[in-house]
Structure 1
Amino acid sequence: MAVKIITPYVYDNEIAEHKDKFWDLDIYYEKDTAGIGSDLMYQKMWNQFPEHDIFILHADMHPFKDGWWEEMLTYVDKYPEAGMLGLLLLYPLQNNNYEHYIQCAGGKFTDGKPDHFGSGLIVENKSQFKEDLELDDGRYTTVREVAWTTFGGCYLRRSFLNTVGDFSPEYEWTYNRDVDYCLKAREAGEHIYQIPVRLLHHESRDNKRIKDQSKADMESRNLQTLLAKWANSKFYKTLDKEIKSG
């Protein structure tokens, strides 16, 4: 099936750079003029292409190396049982050995809350919100099945989208809708894989810049909604299973 790349955005001045970085790809851009948030923009955009698989590319992502798109498609073909495939997202920051810090290598649960394999850095000021940061030092070189993954730098088969449908309406603005969506997909028998194809990700630059107290309150309520719905489910557990072959 043909695939459509979608990139919602907030700030006009950053799209020229994005188009330059991804000059060889046919990307559909749409501005979030109504302020509905990234999640509902993905939904709005993927529903415009009902005959396509979807790749969600954030406006603050850049290629890690040439050929990444073709490399990803080989995994899509090799693992048809995976309805969703997440890429290995790296911060643009490196340590003294020129190893990138990992932003997301799939989703997990820590102390009962959604978390990432990786994360923990704020790029703007290079501060940490996790004590231990993970490096791209070879630890995520295999295909892995995970409980959930972030809706960015990810391939969604149309069959996967058709199975789950739209986002659940009880969530507000953004954050945790993607976790809920992935858990609903797994409950319906779908599989979510992480693949070792890399993209650079600044991480939620748009969302963070437009976040105010009201949106922070929405994020908090979303977490409570997620917990009420899934906390006692068998799907609300970390999954990190290596997949040996396609």
Structure 2
Amino acid sequence: MHLTEGPAGPVHWTDDGHGEPVVLLHGLGGDASFWEAERKALAERFRVIAIDLRGSGLTPTSAVGAGIDDLADDVAAVLADQALGSAHIVGFSMGGLVAQAFAVRHPESTDRLVLAATYAAMGAQSRLFLDAVLDVYSGGATPRQMFDLICPWLFSTDFLADPANGVFLQYPEDDPLEQSLEDWRALYLAQQVFDGSAALSTITAPTLILAGDEDQLAPVREAEILARGIPGARLRTLPGGHLFNVEAPDTFLDAVRSHLVGEH
């Protein structure tokens, strides 16, 4: 187990492979295990550090809150703890907000940047849906009921219709790291109020933006805003819904790897 003392408490992270460091940042409701497939593949060429953001996985919540900037500073603490002057940063969904904030607050520590399934500010459709999810969750719904509610929003229509993909729609029973309602709420509210639009023009790291062509939570139009705002950013649309890394894993990995090594 790897623990770093961050600005507000311990931060848990995993460590795989050797080479240039790559930091992986998961989305809302996830933890470092979200990256299980990518960690193994990227570790063939890179040192891969996957961080449990506050209130996720083995990183406890913080009594002083968990704003997106705070999460970015936790990432900086892990890099400093490992004497890493800089790293590639890959953020997915909420992790993409943290990655943006990190690139703005710690530009000297950001080599290349990948922003996947994310946005500069949460759109109205996503906010309305997740507000409703929070209301249902706060009203006493079980984690399994919440999983069943959210899951259809994570994948494309064709993926959901294929019986072979049923395994991805099954609730993970007896998860020892199941996130609490309080931690989910804190991270969701941090995500809801974040607006990185004004700071996009200050991001200097070479940036790749990845969007799912059927993503309803972070639609392509939101990725286009990122691409227009970040100088020199490239946008690539991949097949799939919000979890297009699950629907098109090889395409996703190839895109990330190519960007991290400077290929176009």
Do both share a fold (TM > 0.5)?
no
Structure ranking higher in helix proportion: 2
TM-score normalised per structure 2: 0.26
Structure ranking higher in strand proportion: 1
TM-score normalised per structure 1: 0.27
Q: Which structure exhibits the higher relative contact order, with contacts defined as CA atoms closer than 8 Å and separated by 6 or more residues?
A: 1
